[in-house]
Amino acid sequence: MIMTTKIPALLSTLFLIVFFSSCKKDFTEINTDPSSFTSASDGSLFNAVISSLQLGWNEQFYINNEILYKQSQLAALTKEGWGNFTLGTEEIWSNYYGSLPEIRELEKRFSAYSESPGVLNMKAMLKITMAMKTFHVTDLFGDIPFSQAGYGFQNLEYLRPKFDKQRDIYLSLLENLKWADETIDESAPLVEPYKSFVVFDKLFNGDMKKWRKLANSLRLRHAMRMSEKEPVIAGQIIKEIIEENRPVFVGYDFAASKLESACLWPAAVGFKNESLSWSFREHKNLRMGTNIWHRLSENENPDGTGIFDPRAYIFFETNNASQWKPYPQNPDASTPSEGGIPYDSHRDQTGSFNIKGETCKYSPFNYFIIDDENYMPIIIITGAEVHFIKAEAWFRGIGVGVDKEMADNEYMNGINASVEWWMSVAKNSKLPLSGMTFPEMIPIPEDLNASSVLVHYGSWMAKTEEEKLEFIYTQWMVDAFRQPWEAYALVRRTGKTPREGLPIAHFRLPYPPSEVEYNAANTAEAIARQGGDAPGNKIWWTP
């Protein structure tokens, strides 16, 4: 069971306020002294940081569902009814800067300990977690407060921290991840303070090999992300990881299925992911779009006979008339309006599952993927994504020599891993109230598997070398279906993911109004340095 305290979701400027006043939504409460960190153990502080990897309620509603799914074209919006995206940006900001005091406190404590393999492992775990959280925020906003952030409770001088350049943040985090990989001792003796600390590791239960894999998988992801702007540095990182065979998550190893990943699995770590179903039930407007439908089916047959990718059955459902019908990615005035109740809680009752409302004319997201609050994971990174990154590296010669055969092997491993990983998730999915399982409610045709995907998206099906690269990006995008922020990054970086209509013109989120108001001078400087604060202003690594 994850236990955590909650820092108030405000700004980095409020770090002196009560830090342990309440528990995070869905996590078991732990009573602590509200005036000091001293009553919280190292492990409980780290636990609080890990718990903050949960997606925020407003982040999912206003950012993921209203903006990122549309911009990545992983889905289609039937109606843009929620313009108040600042509720989402405020939550992302406050989640990050609300957890930084805990991180800084742990850094301070660790620096005072006598150095030992266990303490070094603790430092590495914290650096990796810090990198995960920081990359997520900087990839959405660009320049952010970093080097001075989180120290307000230690030094009043940093109550209004400066904004670091995104490039500097990237290089610092990538160096920290390298340090973590090289420093972690997988056989460190379980002695204090390490012994008590690893009990709170709800990602990998103290498996340090997996922490190394996470560090290097993140290095690959973000080195590739900055490869257009820093090709030499990015290439060196990718070359080191691949040629030195540094540990990374593996989805598929030739014919052997590994399906490794880093995820928060709600039931396994002791919380119910209620925010997921809430964000869809209240938002209502996401449906399967024509763009992704054309990556999953070879024709428009509403009976689904054109579907070749089993992930279609995992990601989406038929409409209320039991037909597969995508909503136009770029609707016009003649497009029929959409309604229905496909995301309402009544469907988690025996006999009511197929009631989606007569006005549900288009295919909604699969109910299991949005209502399973116990067994549907919050994904950090999977072995499938690592394979796609390697495929691009070999195909384009980034950090390694161009090797189309190696690229093809990694690409096929990526497809095999993605399809099998998602089918495994679906197999174990269960609704929280009725207990109905995915397999009993939504049988996937037996002839659909990774092989049926490769029949359509195997590299040998591509007519040109350019199309082969586009295939890699297509399958990478499909795999990121429940990580719209990652698909959004892929679209912005490459411009080669499948797309209907105009090229993407949305590249960042504007800074939250509260930061603009309170940290005015530093925010204004960062905005001027980046050329503006509008979505059309590109962040540093965007070509």
pTM of the predicted model as reported, rounded to 2 decimal places: 0.93
Fold of 12-274+373-514: 1.25.40
pLDDT digits (tens, 9 = 90+) for 350-392: 999 999 999 999 999 999 999 999 999 999 999 999 999 999 9
Residues contacting 334, CB < 8 A, separation 6+: none
Do the Cβ atoms of 373 and 430 come closer than 8 Å?
A: no
Q: What residues of the chain score a pLDDT lower than 50?
A: 1-36
**Tally: H helices and E strands in the chain:** 22, 8
- Reported residue count of the chain is 543
The residue written with tokens 């609050």 in the block is 373
The residue written with tokens 């691009």 in the block is 392
Q: Rounded to 5 degrees, what angle do the CA atoms 129, 477, 402 make?
A: 90
- Report the pLDDT value the prediction gives residue 27, as an integer from 0 to 100: 38
d(CA 82, CA 395): 41
DSSP letters spanning 114-177 = PP-HHHHHHHHHHHHHHHHHHHHHHHHHSSEE-TTTT-TTT-GGGSSPPEEPHHHHHHHHHHHH
d(CA 507, CA 139): 9
CB atoms within 10 A of CB 206: 18
- Report the pLDDT value the prediction gives residue 80, as an integer from 0 to 100: 80
- Report the pLDDT value the prediction gives residue 156, as an integer from 0 to 100: 76
Give how far Cα 355 sits from Cα of 104, 303, 343, 358, 428, Å.
50, 18, 10, 8, 23
Q: Quick one: angle between helices 166-183 and 117-141, nearest 10?
A: 150
